[in-house]
Amino acid sequence: MAQNRRGRGGSRPTAPPGVAANDDPPARNRPLLSPEQLAERLDEFYEAVAQYNDGYWFEAHETLEDLWLVTPWPERQFFQGIIQLAAAFVHFARGDYDGIFKLLDAAAEKLAGFRPAQFGVDVDALLAGIARARAELAALGPGAFRQWDERRAPAIIFQSSPNPPRID
């Protein structure tokens, strides 16, 4: 069996004989959005935020990933930070202690560049919530972290008067 570049077996799926292959490029190969196109798709971001805040971390990650793949810098980095935050709590649900911290740290690092706010999100409050959750989980340690109340996951909150989206 052939191996892909990650050392796993398998090959790319192909269309059966006589059936046209899908001409749509993979999401990672699509052109980046213009500022106007990004503004038109922000509802996807707000949907992901609602999913995250409701504890649907995997779904939030999936919802935002399609938008993240075609978003230009610097907004792309902001979306990636939110995706990593959601993924940290997927790792919590799966019992992956080390993965939680890796992703919380990566999320905080990416989000810090968007202080005090981005797309109306209170980034300062979110970073404080990430730091609090990280400290609480670390204090419990690998043997007891599952006792942590997941309702204490940092909420993504909006400023009372959101800044307009920063789209350069």
One-letter-per-residue 3-state SS of the chain? CCECCCCCECCCCCCCCCCCCCCCCCHHHCCCCCHHHHHHCHHHHHHHHHHHHCCCHHHHHHHHHHHHHCCCCCHHHHHHHHHHHHHHHHHHHHCCHHHHHHHHHHHHHHHHHHCCEECCEEHHHHHHHHHHHHHHHHHHCCCCHHHCCHHHCCCCCECCCCCCCCCC
- Tell me which residue range forms the domain holding 84: 33-152
Q: Quote the number of domains for the chain.
A: 1
Domain contains 26: no
Structure tokens at 154: 């940092």
Domain contains 13: no
Domain contains 64: yes
pLDDT confidence of residue 24:
53
**Tens of each residue's pLDDT in the chain, 168 residues:** 443 333 333 333 343 444 444 455 555 556 798 889 989 999 999 999 999 999 999 999 999 998 998 998 899 999 999 999 999 999 999 999 999 999 999 999 999 999 999 999 999 999 999 999 999 999 999 999 999 999 999 999 998 654 444 444
Domain contains 166: no
Domain contains 165: no
Reported as half-sphere exposure (CB side, CA atoms, 13 A), residue 152 has a value of 14
Q: Which of 155, 131, 160, 4 is nearest to 82 (CA)?
A: 155
pLDDT confidence of residue 33:
86
pLDDT confidence of residue 18:
47
Rounded distance, CA 166 to CA 114, Å? 10
pLDDT confidence of residue 28:
56
pLDDT confidence of residue 146:
93
Rounded distance, CA 168 to CA 110, Å? 18
pLDDT confidence of residue 163:
47
pLDDT confidence of residue 147:
94
| Domain CATH for 133 | 1.10.3450.10
Could you give the angle at which helices 75-94 and 97-111 cross, rounded to 10 degrees? 160
Domain contains 87: yes
Tokens 């997941």 belong to 150
Domain contains 83: yes
Rounded distance, CA 88 to CA 78, Å? 15
pLDDT confidence of residue 9:
38
Domain contains 58: yes
